[in-house]
Structure 1
């Protein structure tokens, strides 16, 4: 079979300078190129990396007015990306998410191009959005089912949701992570931390990530170990949290950290790693925490428990967070850490995930061409 010509849309671009989908696109695109495919990733014109190629991946920079127009600019950027795909002859377009792109779904190239969409999480459940916005996101999710030929679910919970809600089949492919087994203690020096002498979380500072619940528990705990809050905090909600917990000097808001090696070392040497995400999907940071051999205390919900199973501590309220902070020593739970690393190596390792995506692309490409060949001329 000849190589597949693939485009990836729906991110701000690669290499990653932003977050989950961008990290995913970076690993996937590079892996597919290494497997012999022709891959293009669409980048914002303001992306820090301005070259037209990265590790063999072709890059197309499209105008992105988000910095001037705010959220409306995301819709314009997605429109510009989709319009550009119409000028090319891609075999497959992988669309990541739906929040600002599926309203333009009717413009996606249809002739000889297959559209497959990663349906992301249940964005309309995010409490940071107003009721009108959440209603729009439900509609955008629906459009994602209308204007796509195939669908990918990154968690079994999302796959079940798509089946029950829309009666559509989807291919389950989770995110991945690379096992981290060579820690460097020097990474702790700039944060004035000692090995296993601190707790932490990594998240977007948003209500549905339970950051406030975690910090409330941390503030009320008897133990006052340093607590790192890693995530961009120059937001309205971030400012609220910083003000609310300003009196607790052991809670440190360190901002976003995008150096994966630094993040891996911080996770590895932490005593407890809190994961508060509650809205759908397999969160990349959860898998990275597992891969970094962190001891995880996660919000109790089906999306987290499906991945972690019995190999984590769980919380539902601030009191349970406090109890974990006061009583848990990482050395007591070495089996949790080891079992989660085993899952990464044997289920969620990036090369295995890229293989699954490649098989998905090969399958839908071959099926489409068999159908076309059997259509009478």
Structure 2
């Protein structure tokens, strides 16, 4: 069965921003290869201005976020939905609900609506209490107005079952195994192999960047600590200022050159993953695929992916201890290889795309079967 599928809720593809853009890039191109017609909605501000990408049709919709801030995201999502209503899509896949579910009554009536339910956005500490309350409301609306649901983490799947009594399909993110071609692309002069610690994240409080750097700052390590991520926001400026006097800490800014990021992960002594909210995190899977040794924040999301194949920390003292004591011997090599096998077996893109295709087709069939019965 070949379907007309639209993907909404992202800033667009190819990915210049984050997780939903990352997965939309892979899934849209993968579904086209499997014979489906796929349209992805892009912000008119997206750097990619063509009308197609790897066989995916690109629809550019007006996005006033650059003029009015966050409120612009709601207008952009509304514009995408209004356009999608004019097209007879069999399935509309909505990535997240933050600024789209308030328009639930505008969801195309004749399309099967599938929402990727994101990662309990209302828990994010960067949001004020009123915003957190709104996000809980938006989550509730997404449940109400969607026909089917995707959870990218088993923790989210359990939460949705407990809170709303709904069954969601667990489909994680994917990652590509670090290839020999990528290895050869960088003559790694920037740092000696395994001679630095690494962190890669958006500069937000719930990513535990301050905790990690506090622990490192107190340590007696002589290694460098490279921080990847745009430090232009308020929290980023606060962090760079706070650790300005520690010459070991290097803020590298955002790096969108994927082979370079993979090389930095692969060559790090220990990769710190501080994310504490959300589902399966793409940068964590990428670090696993790049054969990095990982120290992760101790929470159910990270543990459901890494199990016993990582070091865990909850505070700056535990970070300091890891920085000063972690070795790179056989047990650590086993942890790295176990995580690589997880990527090959569970979190590879071909499998993720297969799971999306199967769920989209089954959801469409099920919804239309229900519709036929309703009309009889």
Q: Is TM > 0.5 for Structure 1 vs Structure 2? A: yes
CA deviation map 1:38-75 (0-9, x unaligned): 00000000110000000000000001111111111111
Equivalent residue number for residue 75 of structure 1:
74
TM superposition shift of 1:369: 2.4
- Are the structure 2 counterparts of residues 264 and 168 from structure 1 closer, same or farther at C-alpha, using a change threshold of 3 Å? same
Matched ranges for 1:213-232 at <5 A:
213-232=211-230
Matched ranges for 1:166-205 at <5 A:
166-182=164-180, 183-184=183-184, 186=186, 188-189=188-189, 192-205=190-203
CA deviation map 1:85-126 (0-9, x unaligned): 011000000000111111111101112x10000001011111
CA deviation map 1:283-326 (0-9, x unaligned): 11111110110000000000000100000000011111111111
CA deviation map 1:315-344 (0-9, x unaligned): 011111111111113344000000000000
Instruction: Provide the secondary structure at the position in 2 that maps to 1:24.
Output: helix
Write the distance in 2 (CA, Å) between the matches of 1:5 and 1:223.
55
CA contact (8 A) 2:160 2:166 kept: yes
Equivalent residue number for residue 24 of structure 1:
23
- Pairing 1:127–2:125 present: yes
CA deviation map 1:121-156 (0-9, x unaligned): 011111111111111111111111011000111101
Write the distance in 1 (CA, Å) between the matches of 2:186 and 2:363.
47
Equivalent residue number for residue 334 of structure 2:
335
Count of aligned pairs between the two proteins: 373
Equivalent residue number for residue 256 of structure 2:
258
CA contact (8 A) 2:186 2:260 kept: no
CA contact (8 A) 1:121 1:280 kept: yes
**Structure 1, gaps ≥5 residues long:** none
CA root-mean-square deviation: 1.1
CA contact (8 A) 1:187 1:265 kept: no
Instruction: Provide the secondary structure at the position in 1 that maps to 2:58.
Output: strand
Instruction: Provide the secondary structure at the position in 2 that maps to 1:215.
Output: helix
Write the distance in 1 (CA, Å) between the matches of 2:19 and 2:374.
41
- Are the structure 2 counterparts of residues 72 and 187 from structure 1 closer, same or farther at C-alpha, using a change threshold of 3 Å? farther
- Pairing 1:65–2:68 present: no
- Are the structure 2 counterparts of residues 136 and 213 from structure 1 closer, same or farther at C-alpha, using a change threshold of 3 Å? same
CA contact (8 A) 1:93 1:115 kept: yes
- Pairing 1:45–2:67 present: no
Write the distance in 1 (CA, Å) between the matches of 2:337 and 2:104.
44
Instruction: Provide the secondary structure at the position in 2 that maps to 1:194.
Output: coil
Instruction: Provide the secondary structure at the position in 2 that maps to 1:334.
Output: helix
**Structure 2, gaps ≥5 residues long:** none
